[in-house]
Amino acid sequence: MAIEVGMNGRLFHLHTKDSTYQMYADEHGVLLHTYYGKRIDGENLADLIFQADVGFSGNPPEAGGNRGYSLDCLPQELPSDGVGDYRESCIGLVHEDGSMAADFRFEGYRILPSSYKVKGMPALYDTEKETGSTLVITMREKASGAVVRLLYGVFEEENVITRALTVENQGEGDLWLTKCLSCCLDFQFGEYDMITFAGRHAMERSPERTRIRRTKLEVSSRRGTSSHQYNPAAILCAPEATEDFGDCYGMCLVYSSNFCVSAQKDQRGQTRAVMGILPEHFSFCLRKGEAFEAPQVILSYSDHGFSGLSHQYHRILREHMCRGKYQFAKRPVLLNNWEATYFNFDKEKLTALAKQAAELGIEMLVLDDGWFGKRDDDNSGLGDWFVNEKKLGGTLRELGEEIHSLGMKFGLWFEPEMISEDSDLYREHPDWALTIPGREPNRGRNQLVLDMSREDVREYLLERLTDILKNAPIDYVKWDMNRSLSDIYSHVYTGNRNGEVAHRFILGVYDLLERFLERFPDILLEGCSGGGGRFDAAMLYYSPQIWCSDNTDAVNRLSIQYGTSFFYPVSSMGAHVSAVPNHQTGRATPFETRGHVALSGSFGYELDINKMTEEEKHLVREQIADFHKYYTLTHEGTYYRLTGLKERFCAWEFVDEKQDHALLTLVMTSAEGNPLPVHTRVKGLAPDKAYRCSENGHVHSGRTWMNGGLTLSKVPGEYESVLIEWEAI
């Protein structure tokens, strides 16, 4: 059974194929976290909890004279503020009388035969192939009407357990929620490292590994997005854990706005990790009968190192988070006009690009920024979603039909959440922007942000998007978001309700995305926020691929795509071949290398193909042929990181489901005189199958290839790359 209940309904086991999560509601109603790790049997492990009188760790009244029983030392599922646990909490409340204690005790449970949903937010869902199950545990605050329902979902085959919670006000007066984190993991014993994924615009998601100590370790975003700077996913692992060995615990938040994840050892050496909505500047008023739902956290455990953990996340996100026609349908090879023309284009330039693209086998032209309103640079026009027919030299329908006549699809860029002050929309509705009355607003990229918490704003945007897509043959939409939020103030949720706005903003974004996709279910939607500024599990619910980074430099992309791969499947990463010298770095890399790196993603081009040489055009045809040849490997196969980022080459591998076909990509990142041989590991083959290697024609068993590895017959030069195949015979 995935969910097992014992000891008169107080002992709970959540079993996946290879792991167990155990909780126990003790005699005082405190819900203890007793175990998470490799699968165990049904015995109660609460006896592992060591109780002793710890100075300055007080005792709840139920403990009586037992000075060894303290919330400050116990491993808990729902640690809360103001009642004697001085470590990081998950819940903070302000009651009508101004008091701030939050003392939740176990009341009951129920089991549901399907996965739970989170109102207004994405969450993992059931499929015909596999249905999850849900444990709901009710916790009631001792002295008020606050009730928390803890939600635990189990996806047995994927080794995934999810966490979410709902806070409901069942009292008579108002209740203020000041903190609401979705998940807490308490580990009584052991040393752990924490791996987070940090960066900046155009250099996202670089892994950083830090030992968890008594100094609090936290990463967070206060930008109104999950951000380029930090990603809402983290790994707790044994210090000795590697790609292939060791205990690893993943925490992945299904949320696209302000978040935090932190870990810290307490005075007794116990480790607590929490994850959820960032408490800073957050508050939410719950009137009688109202409830607040916190976003889902996807937990997964592996004792097979980072690779094993990544495989579990790749599968669950591909199969139970991504949706729609393009969840599994083949993605078209696209050409984006941005780095070819920027704002300087007309119909003649676009059709010239499309004609050349069609001849080379490219399957879609995407028209990026600048096709609407008064928009010849990034200082005006956002919000005026009306086609600039004068600039295009005709209607959008005419342009789209001409591109379709070439046998290509047609895509369009939008930035719906933004508004320019130099726009008709702002002149008509200045109160629709997030600005504070009486203050000059901060600007990012010379633009402001629309208040997506407002229904009238969302209705306007849906109307404009619908009008454009219904009147032109659009197959793809790139949904961009090019600044962080500041000056957060809503003219609807005024006064002390402004602490709700950041959360209501992202709920509004989700609502608009959901309604947009209901109207246009066959659209391929690609998410974007200046590249990877909103690359998170929640956005995959709407867009099965996300522009991985605005940085298209092939060498920088090695680290960006490497870090992204720890949680997110390769099929979700938008990756393009661009011109050299690269527009972001000035680096020149071989055309073949740019293609090999971009093949490990949803593939396309970001350059002026009319300026390419005949040799480069020949290579484009070869790369597109490779994309189709290897598609099931790169988009559906199992992905292995073969190297880290500090070696003189970077290598990764895909293996198909039947273990009949493998593809290894290797890129040299540095060159040396009198070079040493290049030897790489090989993973994922079936030990007892025989494979022929394309690099040297040799045939060995999978066991031999994996244990012996491969030495290249020639050392590639700096930035050169190779593709190597293994096929079962």
Q: What positions carry a catalytic annotation?
A: 536, 616
**Amino acid identity for residue 231 in this structure:** N
User: Which residues are bridge partners to 161 per DSSP?
Assistant: 154, 299
Distance CA 431, CA 721 (A): 53
CB atoms under 10 Å from CB of 515, counted, come to 16
H-helix segments, 406-454: 424-428
Please state, in angstroms and as integers, the Cα–Cα distance from residue 201 to each residue in 198, 234, 478, 668, 688, following that order: 10, 19, 18, 25, 46
377-409 burial, b if ≥16 CB within 10 A, otherwise e? ebebbbbbbebbeebbeeebeebbebbeebebb
Distance CA 339, CA 179 (A): 43
For 714, the token pair is: 């020639």
Q: Give the helix/strand (H/E) hosting 701.
A: strand 699-701
In 3-state terms, what secondary structure has residue 499?
A: helix
| Rg of the chain over all Cα atoms, to the nearest angstrom | 27
Please write down the HEC assignment for all residues of 180-210: EEEEEEEECCCCCEEEEEEEECCEEEEEEEE
Please write down the HEC assignment for all residues of 590-632: CHHHHHHHHHCCEEEEECCHHHCCHHHHHHHHHHHHHHHHHHH
Report angle CA 189, 193, 199 to the nearest 5 degrees.
Answer: 150
State phi, psi for 214 to the nearest 5 degrees.
-75, -20
Please state, in angstroms and as integers, the Cα–Cα distance from residue 333 to each residue in 159, 336, 451, following that order: 33, 10, 35
**Amino acid identity for residue 396 in this structure:** L
Distance CA 455, CA 394 (A): 33
Distance CA 210, CA 221 (A): 19
Phi-psi region of 621 (alpha: psi -120 to 50; beta: other; left: phi over 0): alpha
Q: Give the helix/strand (H/E) hosting 379.
A: none
For 625, the token pair is: 């042929």
Distance CA 554, CA 671 (A): 16
